[in-house]
Every structure is written in structure tokens, then in C-alpha cells.
Amino acid sequence: MEYFNFHTHQFTNQSNVVELVNQYPKDFDETISFYSIGIHPWYIDENRIDEDLRIIEEKLQTPNCLAIGECGLDKRIEVPFDLQISVYEKQLELAEKFNKPVVIHCVAAFQEVMAIKKKMKIGVPMIIHGFSKNNQLAEQLIAAGFYLSFGKYLLKNPDLKMVFQNVPNDRFFLETDTIEESIQQVYELASEYKGLNLKELQDVILSNYKRLFK
């Protein structure tokens, strides 16, 4: 593995890239090599919650399922926040049961995400995907035990450079999410920002990958 794409919605099937492809229970694709599966807060369907959780539980027991998610909380959508919390917490229970890391979608709800981790005493790794916020929040999340994944906003927002530079090397991942740019392009910029050559950065991410995904 030369590259690890922590979170993507596009399966490119490159021989030198391990891709953690985001999957939804009702649209599951068995041809994808490695994936995460979860109920995204945008797509909570009250008529499907139990069925979706059953599918997630089934897939978490297969070796190709590396993580649960993306799941999480989003205050900028119309789905009732209490319902989002309920569905999110049920997925965290499954993550603990099957000892799987969690890919987290979080919009304007970071304090709640941190509080729920503490309340539920979650021990599995929890990774905020697509991090785009400031240094203070990054430090709070890291102190609370979270990992941060960077991609789209790292490429598009130069202000994130310093935030990314300050994240400890053992606490970050890189991703493409839904962007057209390749994971190689994300690595290129990240290596420049971190002052590491490409091989050094690859070794950092490989070490993080091995620690979280065993």
C-alpha cells in the first residue's frame, strides 16, 4: 500500500491505493474491496432505521468492512436533532460491539460529538472526516481522543495549512471524499505542509492505518 484514502465515495480500484469507500446499507455494493458502512444523518429514514442497523451489524462482521460510518450529527439539516443523536448512538454501540473505528460526519455539533464520546465511554477510534475548522477546535478534539482526516478543504483553503501542521503526526489521515482530485494530489500537498518527503508521509499514514485498522 503506497496510499491510503481514508474516506471516499468513489471506488477507483488502483493497485497502489487502499480506499475506504463509503457505503450505505440500502445501496450496498459487494464488488468494493474495503469499505465503511453507516447511516449518514442526511439520509435517516425512520421507516428503515432497524433494517439499516441490521445490515450494518451483518457487514461489520466481515473482514472487508474496516469501519462504521460515515455517521454523525449535523445541525444544518432538517432531520430532528434528537433523532440524529439516537441513530448515531446506536451506531456507536455497534462500533464498540464489533471493535470497529468510526468515520464521523459533523457539522456544527462538535461539542455534542465530544460529549457523547465521553458519556458512552467509547473506546474505539473515532475519526472526524473532512476537517475544516480552526486550531482551537482541532486541539480540543485531539485532547478528547479523536483523529482528524483532511482532504477537500486542505486543497481549497490555505488557512487550514497551519491547523494541519499542528496536528500530531499520529492523529491524522488523508481523504478525497467527493472531490475529483486524486489521493496522490492530497498527499502531495500534505507532504509539503508537513515538511516531509512523500515516503516519510506514506510511512506516517501507514503507521496510523495499522494502529487503527489492525
Q: Which domain holds residue 115?
A: 3-213
- Looking at the structure of the chain, the number of domains it has is 1
User: Which three three-digit cell numbers place residue 145?
Assistant: 481522543
CATH of the domain at 20: 3.20.20.140
CA distance 138 to 122: 19
Q: State the cell numbers at 182.
A: 486524486
- Asked if residue 142 lies in contact with residue 167, where contact means CB atoms within 8 angstroms, the answer is yes
Q: Indicate left, alpha or beta for 69 from its phi (over 0: left) and psi (-120 to 50: alpha).
A: left
Q: How far is residue 66's CA from residue 124's CA, in Å, rounded to a whole number?
A: 12
Q: What confidence score (pLDDT) does residue 214 get?
A: 80
Which residue, among 42, 7, 37, has the nearest Cα to 23 in the 3D structure? 37
Q: Consecutive sets of 10 residues in the chain, 214 residues long: mean pLDDT of each?
A: 97 96 96 97 97 98 97 98 98 98 98 98 98 98 98 97 98 97 98 98 98 92
CA distance 75 to 125: 23
Structure confidence at residue 8 (pLDDT): 98
Give how far the C-alpha of residue 123 lies from the chain's centroid of Cα atoms, to the nearest Å.
16
